[in-house]
Every structure is written in C-alpha cells, then in structure tokens.
Amino acid sequence: MAFSKVLKYQEDWKKVADSLAARDYKIDDREITNVKLFLKQLANEYYDMELLTKGITDEAKVTKAKEIMKDFRSKVRECDGAASDGNIAKIGENYPITSSEIAQFLDLLRDVPDEL
C-alpha cells in the first residue's frame, strides 16, 4: 500500500505542478490553502518511503534512499513555506528536483539486476 501511495503522489504532484505552471503561478487564497494541504500530505510521504526502505537489502541503497527522502521532505516543506508567503513560483522551482528524487527513490527499490 505504501508503494501505491508513493506512486499516486508522484502522479498527483506532477498534475499540481503542471496546473500551477499553466496559470503562471497565480492562484487565489482558497487554492493556496488546498496546495498547502497537498504539500503537507506529500511531505508526509516520507514515512511511506521510510517503510519501503526496510525492504532494501543493499546498505548503500538504504543510505542513498534516506538521503533522497530527507532532501525530498525538505524541498516539499520549502514549497509549503513559500506558498504561505505567496511565493507560488518556488513550487515550480522545486518540482523538477523533487520529481527526480521520487524517481530515484523508486529506482532504488528495484531488486532486479540491470543485466536482465
């Protein structure tokens, strides 16, 4: 279930970022509240990611996954703080980084050898 949630939030995060970019980061107060709620939920995906790392057997991958998770949560929290300050453009700046981090994290969960 944790894996499914991470995948769902990955997809939803793209939709939110694309929607904000399409509107040139101009949204009303109600939408800011909704975006902030989403960002809080997205930051809490850290805990699902943490649970998923327990299935990784390679210690180097575990260490890398933890680094990614911490930076991901930090960047999403930056977005939340920026949204509070009315700096919605910060979300657009952090989206590519956080999106890449989710993809990197999911790659670390793969246990199939690259040779196959």
For 82-106, write each residue's pLDDT tens digit: 999 999 999 999 999 999 999 999 9
| pTM, entire model | 0.90
Q: Does 6 fall in a domain?
A: yes
The per-residue pLDDT for 111 is 75
Number of domains the chain is built from = 1
Residue pair 72/50 in contact (Cβ under 8 Å)? The answer is: no
Residue matched to tokens 């040139």:
24
> Which residues lie below 8 Å from residue 62, measured CB to CB, with a gap of 6+?
53, 56
Task: Examine residue 68 and state whether it is found in any structural domain, yes or no.
Answer: yes
Does any domain span residue 115?
no
Q: What's the pLDDT score for residue 80?
A: 96
In whole angstroms, what is the distance from residue 105 CA to residue 65 CA? 6
Residue 114 lies in a domain: no
Average pLDDT over residues 8-22: 96
Give a yes or no: residue 31 inside a domain: yes
Helix intervals (H) in 1-88: 2-22, 29-43, 45-53, 59-84
pLDDT, greater one: 115 or 67? 67
Report the pLDDT value the prediction gives residue 82, as an integer from 0 to 100.
Answer: 95
Q: Please measure the distance between the N-terminal and C-terminal CA atoms of the chain and give it in whole angstroms.
A: 27
> What whole-number percentage of the chain has pLDDT above 90?
90
Mean pLDDT of 61-74: 97
pLDDT value at residue 110 = 86
Q: Give the integer Cα–Cα distance in Å for 5 and 111.
A: 19
| Residues whose CB is less than 8 angstroms from the CB of residue 57 and which lie 6 or more positions away in sequence, other chains included | 111
In a domain, 53, yes or no: yes
> What range does the domain containing 51 cover?
2-109
Residue 96, in any domain of the structure: yes
Is 104 exposed, middle or buried (CB count within 10 Å of its CB: 0-12, 13-18, 19+)?
middle
Give the rounded percent of residues in the chain with a pLDDT score beyond 70.
96
